[in-house]
Amino acid sequence: MKIRYHGHSAVELIGDNASIIIDPFITGNAHAEVAVEEVNVDYIYITHGHEDHIGDAVQIAKNNDATIIAPYELATYMSWKGVKVHPLHIGGSFAFDFGKVKVTPAFHGSSIINEENQEIMYLGMPSGVILELDGNKIYHAGDTGLFSDMKLLEREQLDVAFLPIGDNFTMGPEDALLAAEWVKAKKVIPIHYNTFPVIKQDPYQYVERIKEKGIDGEVLPFNDWVTL
Ligand code: NI
Ligand code: MN
């Protein structure tokens, strides 16, 4: 399984039988150097409706005839853009051709904001996701604060957990340290940092601190494929 991290929460995964990108925020993401046209995936998972997570999902879906998987309200909204969708919801899972995808809770918002009309369209619950690819179980927490039910993820026996550390909009490094202890993944990878001034963090320091607790962690480079 190969992983390419585009910065922020955008994680692209290529397995033997399928490829998927989670929260494909490329345009406007200062860390992303890969052109949207160079993202070739079969599936897109969107954790919630904020624009730094929907990102370029519509264009990538259209370029690749890819299916967008998202919580029901968000999936419905995306379907109005003329793309294929598969709605799921919190606690639900579905066995796709490449493996199972299960939606987990997240404590955050999920909305589209129309600045011009000063309207906020709410799109149901935000989410995290657990997906199986090449026998690996991967958790992407989405945008969330720390919540104690993360302890329940231990039974999923996760191989990799992507956890936000940016603070301000999501949990910060202190809470993400506790999250890393609770989810008990074999490896923790920090996300959602340094994209905006208010989420400036040192991911290396975070990984150092989780390693002191006996948890393996890694800071992924931006825009490069790494094998896990
Ligand atoms: Ni958000
Ligand atoms: Mn975000």
Q: How confident is the model at residue 9 (pLDDT cuts 50, 70, 90)?
A: very high
Percent of the chain with pLDDT over 70: 100
Residues with C-beta atoms within 5 A of ion ligand 2? 52, 143
Percent of the chain with pLDDT over 90: 100
Ligand nearest to the CA of 196: 2
Report the residue count for the chain. Answer: 228
With 90 as the cut, is the pLDDT of residue 135 above it? yes
With 90 as the cut, is the pLDDT of residue 190 above it? yes
With 90 as the cut, is the pLDDT of residue 159 above it? yes
Domains in the chain (CATH in brackets) are 2-227 (3.60.15.10)
Q: Ligand 1: distance of its center to the CA of 81 in Å? A: 20
HSE toward the beta carbon, residue 111, CA cutoff 13 A: 10
Cα gap 3→201, rounded to integer Å: 22
Q: Ligand 1: distance of its center to the CA of 52 in Å? A: 7
Q: Ligand 2: distance of its center to the CA of 214 in Å? A: 28
Residue 228: the pLDDT is: 85
Q: Ligand 2: distance of its center to the CA of 47 in Å? A: 10
Beta pairing, strands 100-105 & 136-140:
unpaired
Q: Ligand 1: distance of its center to the CA of 143 in Å? A: 5
228 CB contacts (<8 Å, ≥6 apart)?
1, 2, 3, 136, 159, 160, 187
Cα gap 110→51, rounded to integer Å: 10
Residue 48: the pLDDT is: 98
Token readout for 17 is 């039988």
Q: Ligand 1: distance of its center to the CA of 37 in Å? A: 24
Q: Ligand 2: distance of its center to the CA of 151 in Å? A: 23
Please compute the mean of the pLDDT values over residues 144-149 and round it to a whole number. 98
Residue 20: the pLDDT is: 98
Residue 82: the pLDDT is: 97
Q: Ligand 1: distance of its center to the CA of 192 in Å? A: 10
Ligand nearest to the CA of 106: 1
Q: In the predicted model, what is the mean pLDDT of the chain? A: 98
Q: Ligand 1: distance of its center to the CA of 16 in Å? A: 30
Q: Ligand 2: distance of its center to the CA of 192 in Å? A: 7
Ligand nearest to the CA of 109: 1
Q: Ligand 1: distance of its center to the CA of 111 in Å? A: 9
pLDDT in tens, 86-112: 999 999 999 999 999 999 999 999 999
With 90 as the cut, is the pLDDT of residue 199 above it? yes
Q: How confident is the model at residue 150 (pLDDT cuts 50, 70, 90)?
A: very high
Residue 166: the pLDDT is: 98
Cα gap 196→212, rounded to integer Å: 28
Residue 225: the pLDDT is: 98
**Rg over CA atoms, the chain:** 16
pLDDT in tens, 17-72: 999 999 999 999 999 999 999 999 999 999 999 999 999 999 999 999 999 999 99
- Yes or no: say if 96 and 121 are a contact pair by the CB < 8 Å rule: no
Token readout for 181 is 């202890």
Residue 78: the pLDDT is: 98
User: pTM for the whole thing?
Assistant: 0.98
Q: Ligand 2: distance of its center to the CA of 202 in Å? A: 17
Work out the burial of residue 65: count CB atoms within 10 Å of its CB; fewer than 13 is exposed, 13-18 middle, 19 or more buried: exposed
